[in-house]
Amino acid sequence: MNTRLAPLVKGRGWSHAWLWRGTLLPLLFLFATCGNAPLRAEQASHPGHRLIKAGCNSKSVAIVDATGAIEWEYPIEQETSDAWLLESGNIIFAFKKGVREVTREKKTVWEYLAPEKAEIHSCQPLPGGLFLVSETHKDIGFLYEMDSSGTKHRTLSVPSKAGPHGQFRQTRKTAANTYLVTYMSGKTLELRQDGSIAAQFPVGSFVALRLPNGHTLVAGGDAHCLVEYDTQQKEVWRLDRNDLPGNTLGFVAGLHRLSNGNVVFCNWSGHGGIDNQAQLLEVTRDKKVVWKLKDPRLNMISSVTVLDQPDQQSPFSQLR
């Protein structure tokens, strides 16, 4: 840098050199770095969140600490729609062609690969060392409760004409032994273990969570909304695209309901969404943004699990 800049200040006196080194260089450094610095708390008192992120065009599965520093990262180009930190300290994630558990040293513990032309987008840990894995094919989808050997302890088939990519994203088993299944076309079904429909919700696209009070929180995807329904499937709360000044909602994807009632959700910018928006937002019940993460190093994020919550070690909790 000095060799290239020397002709600009040579022979022009001490004041020009001082201006360059003492004023312009610091300003250029500030402009160059501020665009890459993570933008976090809306309120100075917010401690931030430790979390695990993944997603479509995310380019990695990563653990990010509360300051925004990348604590651990596993590069992967495939779409990764679900990721969890296990009690062992290992990480399990779903990628487009399978499910993989890896150690912190990035060694594969086990993996399950989907058949040719099928896709996998979900891998919820369950009690007893099982995982809920969703696998989609041309005319049908399957929900498997499988162990780390690939043995399928329960299989639920779900007919669909949406094709492999147009069916499920994150699927979740509830404490009532039902399954919340969202479709990219924009609906959510709650299925019993025999495949019958227990409930249906008019929005969907990425994930639905069963809350402690029995309500269901649904990410609306391309409908640019986040909606809560009561036990009778009646809408009781809704966050729409322009409800958060300065934070336009794109494709609303992965969710984590916090113990204080706030919601952290992914504001994915794909499908023609708006760039330069925060990738993650935390909102209160009265629709106030109290924390957000905007960091280009993390790329696009569509899956998030907050790791500083008491329910993290109980992934089958109704909070998840």
How does pLDDT run across 206-222, given as a tens digit for each residue?
999 999 999 999 999 99
String of b and e for 36-64 (b: at least 16 CB within 10 Å)? Answer: eebebbbeeeeebbbbbbbbbebbbbbbb
For residue 41, the model assigns a pLDDT of 57
- Report the distance separating Cα 312 and Cα 7, nearest Å: 58
Q: Per mean pLDDT, which of 246-260, 261-275, 306-320 is the most reliable?
A: 246-260
Indicate the pTM of the whole model: 0.84
Kindly report, as residue ranges, where domains of CATH 2.120.10.30 are found in the chain. 41-306
**Which amino acid would we find at residue 13?**
G
For residue 206, the model assigns a pLDDT of 92
CATH architecture of 41-306: 6 Propeller (2.120)
How does pLDDT run across 195-209, given as a tens digit for each residue?
999 999 999 889 999
